[in-house]
Structure 1
């Protein structure tokens, strides 16, 4: 899996802890909630010292010397790599984990890239490394991180939207729903920050109080008024073709929270469930497993191209199938031939918000969950059509 570096890292990184180098004796969790490695990864991603990220060496004591035996098995490396995808660190960090040599002894080396969209949180808490120690961020630390973002830097979802104002945001929804979902409750109580700082810290506005695309998408009253393609079109056909009569046609022009709630009602309302007998036992079986519908629609909202396309996410429900299409082809490391096993994020802050709000369970698991849910319910495998400008997923109805 991972290779051992030929060069001794002591010659490359140094022998003392710095804002960009941290030593850990072990990768084990500390206490009920503590996770020293998770805190350190979060701090390196925040990169308060502006060093471009940082490195964590597991198996090295505070004195800079290896502690002895350290688990460098593939299983241990995979467990650490899981920090990237398990959703406890938001926005999702970019990191690598590999075996290495430090002062002649084997260690685990984690390299973390600086985030383009700070502040990053681990389990709802912002961690920074202003010197050779990792600590919770102060209000001023968070302000520095928020101000480091620039309107035209980074992904589209972190940029401000021309013409948008605070009046476009549902601030009551932000206070009662979004904020407690994204930030540890103790941090909210301790910091006592004003509203504009809370919004900027969570990437919903700039420090100048201008809403970002993320702010409009997640808590905006009508995101499509500023981002034209930010809505869902649902059509129910009474047949198998586009020329069939339409029994339901809706446009969902709501923020993420309200869209998810409305989508659940619409999709469940069109599901038909029958009883399937097995001897004396009968079990309910829907035409489509709701878990698969949720994954398909939420992933469409997460990965679509909001920047240059005005087309909506489209859900076409026919008698024999459901087709979900969204604008935006493969992004970053994803290609048409590897999309089922490689994940990258066009909208990283939106992905983080959806994880925090509970619409996504883990990163990079959507296609696998869709396939598994369909198989359990007796549906044919999902059909994916991916080209340079769009995605389409077709779910076939379970056999009667």
Structure 2
């Protein structure tokens, strides 16, 4: 992440006509909404500066400090714009306190994206002079075209052997689009089917309709024909060792939504609750594992696994005393074997799959799955989740309540 010098920041702060800077006196009222629009627009980088853009909190429109106190809570609130799931795909930015013109300012440095178009609240925002505005059809096409010449994550690589006919138009138009875009945007949308697929990163471009990895996982009729490892292997083992008898097994495939829904049904069926009508005046329900913990670990395993150069499935092995969920591919980016699971340490191997999971409602906010699993396990009386990380896999062990 490039850190601008004080002089660079002052130049942007004083240039009130710049399309690379936004100034807000505080972070109250409708400013959080406006700030997210600006971050989305900066990430899209329609002008093509290919330089970091700045959101100043604590500055007046003329560039002078407003006298705002920059607290840790303010910085946390600003950082939350990255992970609350309202800007998709997830933007790349940093948040810091800087002393400029003798006063404290919160500075949000937004990097131009390799994966435009980004959208906030179902709308694509761009910079028009010193203001943020909604992209029209031509501007959206330009953003899609820009993406072709960037270094892309694997989840939007094209799969040349796949065709647009391998994607389900019914799922895209009836399930994905209504959740991905605001209703007024859809109603005014004169874009073709191919243009809409390209805007959502499901195909390469309107004139190159090769499906991407994300497109096949989200909309594919038979994605495992092209991504053999994109499946879940479930085993229910009657014992505590792999060599013990298997009493239930299933290879769960299909698109990512179908796969997760089927896996959740399978896990719920085995997570049988016992009802105690003796120990208390009202009956008590005793569950071996909190369902939320299993779900969060499973979602993380599907989201963060590697889909590149592997045929290994995500494995869910349910023993009598524990559940083991194995996600192929070790920690990624800022996350290492040493810092895995620590609060605030996140990175995304598959940012566009994250977009899909958020759109379909499996994820509400990012970076909180492990914390949720730990909290719900504790509340249910289970031991804390255990994580075994290597360069090739992450294994989570959830132990049964004793």
TM-score with structure 2 setting the length = 0.93
Offset at residue 14 of structure 1 (A): 4.4
Partner of 2:311: 310
CA distance in 1, matches of 2:148, 2:375: 41
The more displaced of 339-348 and 22-31 is: 22-31
1:62 aligns with 2:58: no
1:97 aligns with 2:95: yes
Whether contact under 8 Å (2:137, 2:191) holds in the other structure is yes
CA distance in 2, matches of 1:41, 1:267: 39
CA distance in 1, matches of 2:272, 2:163: 43
Offset at residue 19 of structure 1 (A): 1.8
CA distance in 2, matches of 1:278, 1:125: 54
Partner of 2:398: 395
Stretches of structure 1 lacking an aligned partner (at least 5 in a row): none
Cα distance change, pair 376–45 in 1 and its aligned pair in 2 (3 A): same
Cα distance change, pair 147–4 in 1 and its aligned pair in 2 (3 A): closer
Cα distance change, pair 185–12 in 1 and its aligned pair in 2 (3 A): closer
Partner of 1:290: 291
CA distance in 2, matches of 1:267, 1:209: 37
CA distance in 2, matches of 1:371, 1:98: 29
Partner of 1:244: 244
1:365 aligns with 2:368: yes
1:328-367 paired onto structure 2 within 5 Å: 328-341=329-342, 342-367=345-370
Whether contact under 8 Å (1:4, 1:99) holds in the other structure is no
Partner of 2:214: 214
Alignment equivalent of 2:40, drawn from 39, 42, 46: 42
The more displaced of 9-18 and 293-302 is: 9-18
Cα distance change, pair 93–321 in 1 and its aligned pair in 2 (3 A): same
Q: Deviations over 1:183-203 (max 9, x none)?
A: 111111122321111111111
1:24-173 paired onto structure 2 within 5 Å: 24-30=24-30, 35-52=33-50, 53-66=52-65, 68-150=66-148, 153-173=151-171
Offset at residue 11 of structure 1 (A): 4.0
Cα distance change, pair 351–8 in 1 and its aligned pair in 2 (3 A): closer
CA distance in 2, matches of 1:346, 1:14: 37
Q: How many residues align?
A: 394
CA distance in 2, matches of 1:130, 1:210: 32
TM-score with structure 1 setting the length = 0.94
Partner of 1:375: 378
SS in 2 for 1:363: coil
Offset at residue 278 of structure 1 (A): 4.6
Offset at residue 143 of structure 1 (A): 0.8
